Structure 1
């Protein structure tokens, strides 16, 4: 997953992992990103086909697919190691894929509660708060570590 901490790789000491990140092949990287983004788009849209899902589960899946598609848009942007646009793209990707993870977590909880017959539309607001709040918290933590390196020491 992309992280705003990628900017911390630009330091005077270079190890093998840092050198690998700095010497990556942009064309291969972009081809892989576009290929995976296309596959995710196709399979994400297939998940939206009507089925036997409760209304809350369908809304959760729509939110998760939206996060996935917005994250794919961030992967399609040109990425270099330096520059404010790169940090913005990394934060964009981290935010939406973190939210995607939390939406899928909410979906798993909702499916469990539906099986137990105790969930419904009343929990969707809680899921919104949890998914977006935790994703934003993780993204802000990454930005703080990037812009205030003394905090991580």
Structure 2
């Protein structure tokens, strides 16, 4: 899981009165690691399912074909980031159970290094999943207002921003000596602010930004789709109305999955910073277990909500599409727009078979 609190436990702790040490005395690390391994294993299965190549879909209208291709590209990269994040959680938990310690002793340098690297790996790829989730919402919004996507910008932001944020947050936390014991001491609040708060901000700010921005983008995209349907025909039939309802429901489920998987992290962060020395230890541990379940399951839930609805998906055994084909799909709207007169009048015609399914 991507939690800054667990990351502080990677440091050296030699004070028996340290709050982190007190928590660990009541924390069943084997049970926790088992939960992490089970949930991350499901996440790995969900991510692999999303990455597997599909047969090309033949939709009744070119607009549906381009929307499916554009959305599919982002979903695959989201699944790739989820796959590496879940692998990181699984391997870290397995090694914690058998070889390493969640809370290293004063002379256990190898556990500190392992914990720091594995935490950086997990945080980096989970942050990438948040940004890819945002990119999908942005691209669907652009698609419904007939604008081309920006895959190069998506990749630049989705891979570079997590690297900057992860390096910034963890380097302040672990350098120069990986001693965070004073950060959990009630007499050293200034040290906590200087060493721990930057990592919390680097983790939770992008998480909260996506949580706020995505519902807004999806509501705007739904309004665009509704307006397109209303303007293209003098009256809206049940078929077009069902399409709008399906897209709206799919966007709502996408937001719901994100909230279920990551809202416990925000709650944990707020409670720890406001009630750290008053919060019951059992509450803290309970939140960790909840995050251990929900965070890795993001990939599994995404495999359910991002798949094509109303159409069976066929897998293929080889990657037959070339890079030029993928670039053509991304830029397809550019070539599609001049051929429509206008696109909105072609998008939903009485001859278009929707069948109540959505390719978004």
1:37–1:2 Cα change, 3 Å: same
Given the alignment of the two structures, is residue 85 of structure 1 paired with residue 114 of structure 2, yes or no?
yes
Partner of 1:43 in structure 2? 46
Aligned alpha-carbon RMSD (Å): 2.8
With over 3 angstroms needed to count, the CA separation of the structure-2 counterparts of 1:137 and 1:11, relative to structure 1, is: farther
1-side partners of 2:21 and 2:39: how far apart? Answer: 24
The structure-2 alpha-carbon separation of the partners of 1:23 and 1:119, relative to structure 1 and needing over 3 Å to count, comes to farther
Q: Could you tell me whether the CA contact under 8 Å between 1:64 and 1:103 is conserved in 2?
A: yes
Report the alpha carbon displacement of residue 46 of structure 1 after superposing the two structures with TM.
Answer: 4.3
Greater helix fraction, Structure 1 or Structure 2: 1
Matches of 1:2 and 1:93, distance apart in 2: 10
CA distance in 2, matches of 1:110, 1:20: 44
Q: Secondary structure at the match of 2:103?
A: coil
Alignment of structure 1 residues 1-153 onto 2, 5 Å: 1-3=2-4, 4-7=7-10, 10=13, 12=15, 14-15=18-19, 19-21=22-24, 23-48=26-51, 50=54, 53-76=67-90, 77=92, 78-79=95-96, 80-82=102-104, 83-120=112-149, 123-146=150-173, 147-148=175-176, 152=194
CA distance in 2: counterparts of 1:22 and 1:140, whole angstroms: 30
Question: 1:5, 1:142 within 8 Å by CA — same for their partners in 2?
Answer: no
**Normalising by structure 1, what TM-score?**
0.80
CA distance in 1, matches of 2:72, 2:116: 33
Q: TM-score, normalised by structure 2?
A: 0.37
